[in-house]
Structure 1
């Protein structure tokens, strides 16, 4: 509605309502209405509404009851002042009666306007159900109605809310919704629940995904923009939402004490894990961040993202001990997170000597230099593939863990953190599925029975920081990854979420070094910590002098690297395409 339309409508409403309420009130109290009195009330009410509430900018369709109550309470003193001026006394019963009548009529006019406008704009084929009868659900329902949706009902698991109504729409139980869906189908389901109830949201989606054309959810509470409409912030359900878990009970204070005011060095800072550790360190107010990566592009990306923070970006390989030593000397880090590694199993199998050099020598360099520099804490990012490894990548990570556990740490607290696959990391199945669906398929899965443990990148990295905060004595921390997920089920779910029912799934066979099932990370003799998702793995002793000799031997080109890896890691059973070799 334009400036002039709004101004005219508000003026007309004030004239009509004031004429009705004043005449009716004076009639009840058997008083004669002074025409000048009536005109003065109308004029002052309009000016106060225009100047104080700026009604000429307001939209009636988007106004709430609170908006009109403000209008009423501003108009009350106007009637009081004009009555005092014209009659020389104040009749409170008369003022109170006019006030109540004005409240009633202005609410009635708003309701009639809203009802008539919505009847004109509503498309009865657009139906919506709101799951969550709280304040957010009520606000979303109002916005959806303004956008032309017919709100059918609210659903809530809270029995105290059921049988009530919001804006004339019943609040029903999930069981009642299921009965309702037997005879009809609705367009939209909005899950208006706090996003810390991840499991509840997932259960609702899985139960009703086939009954609605669209399902939308709210963003996390901390991400909601209060100045924007809730409807504009609703988003489709993603695979990340379905695989995320409820928020961890972490000790944010201990993480803050660990990071705040410290100089933090992150190797592999441009990678999926490294860059998220950088973000978390900014969140926990590190003093300075030293970003080390040998990929120019990855380093550029994370540097651009964090350019407003105090950062020092270094293009350097962890295999270059001299260059890395200069970084330690120049920046004097308090904490080191070592995330640099070659991690893609098939590529590592094709480049064994280079992977051994990067993963093992790079880690040894970083640990040795951290100890020499008197770094407070050093945290190695490890992997579930280090548990009874069947591929070279996992074996190299196990060697790194052994070195960390057996080297003399002096005054440095060393720790490794071992976890499984993280959703969305470079080379993981999610970006691969996205690309395959974008290209029209097929989506490739290596084996119908293959399973993996998954965790979201932010979730994993926050647990890494928590483990670093409690590290004391060269521990290998193990993260609880939850339940394993079948990759073929993941592919089916991803295709369904994309809305592409024409995409096929193709089984292509296991890749070199790939396991059918990842080992359980947590074993019976692992030690629990104060945090339910963090355990301490069994310590393995290895003579450090012999280990150094073995590592030195691994760096040579003219040796059988697999035999030496097997010597260091006896449980290493190298497999290609699921077969021992």
Structure 2
């Protein structure tokens, strides 16, 4: 029987145990003190990272856990997963709410509960493919930036002891609007750091996370459809367990305005094509490389008749916003690489210029209020705020790929 956790450990991260285990063990007493009997709110908690964060924090026995997510089905599965796992602690006050965190009903719930001790926000448009046209871009920036500020305004009324909002490695020297939006999000949350402690984390791809290309490989294999992946794009990977632990350590141990990231070396990068090949071999197939999506689709018909040759199309990446490599830190940022065994910390971040940030947010809102606003116009607004934003535009989208 195929075991995904075993496959990730042996073929993707090449780590049989979490890289964060020692840091958690060494800080266990402090983590317990900060979490035990505290109230916890997790926004976007039904997603891959949010649910992993929940599993990481539950071992420290918070008094209550409220999970908010717009994906009702995913929250149902989260609850079933938690309730079916041997030995996991679930507080009596555990409840899931299928709602938008920027909605009036969320505000009503938050205020009626008197706020929370620990708040973690994982709600985000996280895919480069989210950048399609002006409408998808507006939805992306609304969720990642403008609604994040709405949440922060609400938190300021009943400040939490700790606040965490997930970022991305793509926020470092961004080349796509998604990455730029998360870089702006970092400034937005840091602008509230004089009201309550805020922390974030930039980290690698989460292996087989919801909506990721490797997770898509599993769907394709189940349906006997061909695999398609870039052969030249290299990425860092962490396991689902590690993703939750990184965010937990950042949320609880991080200083105000700290940015955590995993300590990974360039040699640990992998291509999606190599993961696809290893996955097919683990399922008992041999790879049949094709020169186009069409050829791969045509040859996949033989799989229905029991063929062990699995067609794939591994191509060179040429879509908008794709970075050929990953980085967690820019040249102007200061890091502490000695504090933790598994994580580096970007330090010395200051409260951003609030007037300049406010102008950006007003410019974005004003632009979206106009019918004639274009993708190019939004890119110009962002570039005026982020001079190092070097947008890669090819005119091609991931939606044009298998």
**Residue matched to 1:518:** 326
Contact 1:385 1:420 in 2 (8 A): no
Contact 2:192 2:198 in 1 (8 A): no
Return the alpha-carbon distance in structure 1 between the equivalents of residues 144 and 272 of structure 2. Answer: 27
**Residue matched to 1:140:** none
Which of the numbers 336, 342, 360 marks the counterpart of 1:533? Answer: 342
1:200-252 CA distance string (max 9 Å, x none): xxxxxxxxxxxxxx9x9xxxxxxxxxxxxxxxxx9995234333424431122
Q: Which structure 2 residues correspond to residues 18-97 of structure 1 after superposition, within 5 A?
A: none
**Residue matched to 1:471:** 254
**Residue matched to 1:453:** 236
What is the TM-score when the length of structure 2 is the normalising length?
A: 0.79
Contact 1:463 1:479 in 2 (8 A): yes
**Residue matched to 2:204:** 420
Contact 2:45 2:67 in 1 (8 A): yes
Displacement of 1:328 in angstroms is 2.3
**Residue matched to 1:117:** none
Q: Which structure 2 residues correspond to residues 295-310 of structure 1 after superposition, within 5 A?
A: 295-306=71-82, 309=91, 310=93
Instruction: Report the number of matched residues.
Output: 345
1:102-139 CA distance string (max 9 Å, x none): xxxxxxxxxxxxxxxxxxxxxxxxxxxxxxxxxxxxxx
**Residue matched to 1:324:** 106
Confirm whether residue 568 of structure 1 aligns to residue 337 of structure 2: no
**Residue matched to 1:292:** 68
For structure 1, the residue ranges without an aligned partner over 5 or more in a row are 1-213, 217-233
For structure 2, the residue ranges without an aligned partner over 5 or more in a row are 84-89, 287-308, 397-402
Confirm whether residue 506 of structure 1 aligns to residue 323 of structure 2: no
Instruction: Please tell me whether Structure 1 or Structure 2 has the larger radius of gyration of its CA atoms.
Output: 1
1:1-59 CA distance string (max 9 Å, x none): xxxxxxxxxxxxxxxxxxxxxxxxxxxxxxxxxxxxxxxxxxxxxxxxxxxxxxxxxxx
Superposed CA RMSD: 2.6
Contact 1:479 1:521 in 2 (8 A): no
**Residue matched to 1:242:** 11
Displacement of 1:477 in angstroms is 1.9
**Residue matched to 2:216:** 432
3-state SS in 1 of match to 2:167 = strand
1:115-171 CA distance string (max 9 Å, x none): xxxxxxxxxxxxxxxxxxxxxxxxxxxxxxxxxxxxxxxxxxxxxxxxxxxxxxxxx
3-state SS in 2 of match to 1:238 = helix
Which of the numbers 344, 363, 366 marks the counterpart of 2:148? Answer: 363
**Residue matched to 1:393:** 178
Contact 1:265 1:336 in 2 (8 A): yes
Return the alpha-carbon distance in structure 2 between the equivalents of residues 304 and 442 of structure 1. Answer: 32
Contact 1:270 1:298 in 2 (8 A): yes
**Residue matched to 1:75:** none
Return the alpha-carbon distance in structure 1 between the equivalents of residues 107 and 234 of structure 2. Answer: 41
Displacement of 1:577 in angstroms is 4.0
Return closer, same or farther for 1:362/1:396 CA change in 2, 3 Å cut-off: same
Return the alpha-carbon distance in structure 1 between the equivalents of residues 110 and 152 of structure 2. Answer: 11
Return closer, same or farther for 1:375/1:511 CA change in 2, 3 Å cut-off: same
**Residue matched to 1:377:** 162
Displacement of 1:318 in angstroms is 2.5
1:344-385 CA distance string (max 9 Å, x none): 211233400111001101221222322321210101111101
Displacement of 1:329 in angstroms is 1.1
Contact 1:318 1:358 in 2 (8 A): no
What is the TM-score when the length of structure 1 is the normalising length?
A: 0.55
Return the alpha-carbon distance in structure 2 between the equivalents of residues 364 and 481 of structure 1. Answer: 31
Confirm whether residue 487 of structure 1 aligns to residue 266 of structure 2: no
Return the alpha-carbon distance in structure 2 between the equivalents of residues 262 and 317 of structure 1. Answer: 23
Displacement of 1:532 in angstroms is 2.2
Displacement of 1:540 in angstroms is 5.8
Contact 2:203 2:328 in 1 (8 A): no
TM superposition outliers: structure 1 runs of 4+ over 6 Å: none
Return closer, same or farther for 1:578/1:493 CA change in 2, 3 Å cut-off: farther
Return the alpha-carbon distance in structure 2 between the equivalents of residues 284 and 318 of structure 1. Answer: 25
Deviates more, 1:391-400 or 1:518-527: 518-527
Return the alpha-carbon distance in structure 2 between the equivalents of residues 313 and 439 of structure 1. Answer: 32
More helix by share: 1
Return the alpha-carbon distance in structure 2 between the equivalents of residues 577 and 453 of structure 1. Answer: 24
Contact 1:336 1:375 in 2 (8 A): yes
Contact 1:381 1:418 in 2 (8 A): yes
